[in-house]
Amino acid sequence: MKSLIISVDLGNPDFQAHSDEFVMLAEGAGAEIVGHLVARRQRPDAAYFIGKGKLDEAALLADSTEAEIILFDQPLSPAQQRNIERALKRRVIDRVALILDIFALRAQSHEGKLQVELAQLQHLVTRLTRMWTHLERQRGGIGMRGPGESQLEMDKRMIGAKVKLLKERLAKAQKQRNTQRRARTRRGTMSVSLVGYTNAGKSTLFNALTRAGAYEADQLFATLDTTTRKLWIDGFGQVVVSDTVGFIRDLPPTLIAAFRATLEETVQADLLLHVVDAASPQRDEQIAEVNKVLGDIGAGEIPRVLVYNKIDAAGYEPWVERDEHGTIVRVFVSALTRAGLDGLRQAIIESGQVAGNNAFNVENI
């Protein structure tokens, strides 16, 4: 689908990284990018976010490139979105809706699809009035996957009923997860969750550790559904490792809420392996963003080890860094070449021994 991207520079030092990331999101959703307009402002315009002058420029560019939709790299209010659509006479997809769309595209499991549909419907409710004028033109494509045309025609009462049903189904799935987690706890099995910014290489590392064969790709949000596998570490015992959804800037609150059942694997873990793309120029900002989301979901106090992945691309050697107390705080690895994995296993062992006073020992499994 021919798409015009509108990026807004509000003076943030990481604007270019934010803009490049949005382009990756658009391409991941299947957009054919035919134009890219950058607007610079001190603060968002109340009516159009980018202001009337830039809006006129966007209209001319959209017409000349024959763009079918507008992809806006900032979250828009329902009123702003409605005003821009009326002015440009095209459907507008903001950052939140685009992320939701990619999640709808990538979700594979039944639970994952329920979570995405719930988030989409909750997002839709706030914009229901603007949808009525566009129903006849909707034929799928970017921003329209998931609930589908028939559900877009529901009134708020019917959407409310659907949301209630989805929440009940997700609660049932969460109850099942809690049962499995309690069983692991009774067996004294240590649980480890891989967390990190999207496309940091979590799934590749997960496969390197567990030989699980989970889907991996060089794209944002390749993994949405939590995958859990058992890992045997010589001299220690069995560990349960979970691969979780990646985080990103401005992750929609509705999405975090919908995925709370899946993210419980993170909240309840004994150890978090925070996977970082060592070759990314924005790795410090990405680390901060992940830490923020971990705090938001109640996982801020869980012990964690920073795992600098992709050292083959960054030019680093595999090694283990310890703090002044001798505790491993950073491990440098390459999931692709499997370099440094012994150091990562050692970090898991030492963390388990400290956390459980040897409770996660081979003799207890």
Reported as a single tens digit per residue, the pLDDT across 176-214 is: 766 765 665 556 689 999 999 988 999 899 999 998 765
Beta bridge partners of 37: 6
- Environment class of residue 75 by beta-carbon count within 10 Å: exposed (0-12), middle (13-18) or buried (19+)? middle
Query: How many Å apart are CA 40 and CA 26, to the nearest integer?
Result: 21
- Given a contact cutoff of 8 angstroms between Cβ atoms, the answer to whether 249 and 218 are in contact is no
CATH code of domain 1-93: 3.40.50.11060
Residue 123 has pLDDT above 60, yes or no: yes
Segments of the chain assigned to CATH 3.40.50.300: 187-364
Binding-site residues, please?
A: 196-203, 221-225, 243-246, 309-312, 334-336
DSSP letter string, 249-270: TT--HHHHHHTHHHHHHHHT-S
- Given a contact cutoff of 8 angstroms between Cβ atoms, the answer to whether 288 and 320 are in contact is no
Query: How many Å apart are CA 201 and CA 335, to the nearest integer?
Result: 7
Segments of the chain assigned to CATH 3.40.50.11060: 1-93
Residue in this structure with the two tokens 């993170």, named with its chain if needed: 266
Binding-site residues for Mg(2+), please?
A: 203, 223
In CATH, which of 3.40.50.80, 3.40.47.10, 3.40.50.300, 3.40.50.720 is domain 187-364?
A: 3.40.50.300
Pick from 62-66, 118-122, 162-166 the range whose average pLDDT is largest.
62-66
> 280: alpha, beta or left, given left = phi > 0 and alpha = psi -120 to 50?
beta
The closest alpha carbon to 266, from 173, 177, 192, 352, belongs to: 192
DSSP letter string, 145-173: -SS-HHHHT--HHHHHHHHHHHHHHHHHH
- Given a contact cutoff of 8 angstroms between Cβ atoms, the answer to whether 215 and 203 are in contact is yes
Binding-site residues for GTP, please?
A: 196-203, 221-225, 243-246, 309-312, 334-336
**DSSP-derived secondary structure letter, 49:** B
Considering the entire predicted model, what is its pTM?
Answer: 0.76
Residue 254: CB atoms within 10 A of its CB come to 19
Reported as a single tens digit per residue, the pLDDT across 89-107 is: 999 999 988 988 888 887 7
